[in-house]
Structure 1
Amino acid sequence: MTDARLPAHLEVGALIRAVDAAGGFGTVIAKGERDAGTLLIICGENDTKLRLYERMPQLDGTRQWTLVRSQDPENKIEFMEYWQRRKSQDSDLWIVELDIANAERFIGLPGTIG
């Protein structure tokens, strides 16, 4: 069984509106393919403790959000270089930043910051 895919631009717009309505800030860092683009979501609060999630295909055909990178406070540039490299490899990729406490809740994951 596979997940029905919501067009990427609609999902991105909904995420940003939901975060904004909850008092946070959401922004598109890079636009990808309008309908079928892959999403990378950067979660953080006040630009700290950044986490990067990508929805990865599973063996059963579903796609689940997976933590692919966490920002090292001692080497913040490495985190930025990682998503920039991913974007240069995939022009269909959307990169969205959600700046709000427990941002993971907006992509259906439990929050990671207490």
Structure 2
Amino acid sequence: MAADRLTSALLIGVLVRRAAAAGGFATVLVKGDENSGVILVQTLERGQETGLFERIPDYEGGYRLAPCGPALDAGPLALAQYIERRRRADPDLWIIELDIAEAERFAAETICS
């Protein structure tokens, strides 16, 4: 691990604390590998699902959030099935639920650099 790379656990902790400080809510649904687990962010705004995003490397040496999973109109069963498949394929996966205004932007500002 490079010295300048933050661990997944640290990034998740920062996201949870920043969300609380901003009046939002974040909770860890699935705890993954402390150091390098993939991070999925399930975004909500006032309890309404707004998307599922994965933190992925970008071409500039940083990270970005990319939409993943089924379309919102596919329903909660499709989302649950997608998450279960991802967890089976990657037991080191983190899943965090984030309920705050402009959740995708908020998460990107916090965990993508």
Q: TM-score normalized by structure 2?
A: 0.80
Alignment-derived partner of residue 87 in structure 2: 87
**Could you tell me which amino acid in structure 2 is paired with residue 63 of structure 1?**
Y
Q: Output the aligned Cα RMSD.
A: 2.1
Alignment-derived partner of residue 77 in structure 1: 77
- Listed as ranges, the gaps of 5+ residues in structure 1 are 110-114
Alignment-derived partner of residue 57 in structure 1: 57
Greater shift, 46-55 or 83-92, is seen at 46-55
Superposed displacement of residue 40, structure 1: 0.4
Alignment-derived partner of residue 37 in structure 2: 37
Give the total of aligned pairs. 106
Alignment-derived partner of residue 25 in structure 1: 25
SS state at 1:108 partner? helix
Q: Measured at CA, do residues 97 and 85 of structure 1 come closer, stay the same or move farther in structure 2, by a change above 3 Å? A: same
Given that 1:18 and 1:106 are in contact with CA atoms closer than 8 Å, whether structure 2 keeps it comes out as no
Alignment-derived partner of residue 112 in structure 1: none
Alignment-derived partner of residue 102 in structure 1: 102
**Could you tell me which amino acid in structure 2 is paired with residue 101 of structure 1?**
A
Superposed displacement of residue 77, structure 1: 1.6
Superposed displacement of residue 64, structure 1: 2.1
Q: TM-score normalized by structure 1?
A: 0.80
Superposed displacement of residue 61, structure 1: 4.9
SS state at 2:26 partner? strand
Given that 1:33 and 1:93 are in contact with CA atoms closer than 8 Å, whether structure 2 keeps it comes out as yes
SS state at 2:68 partner? strand
Report the identity percentage. 39
Structure number having the greater helix percentage: 2
Question: Deviations 1:2-39 (Å, cap 9, x if unpaired)?
Answer: 9x431010000000111111111100000000011110
Greater shift, 61-70 or 96-105, is seen at 61-70
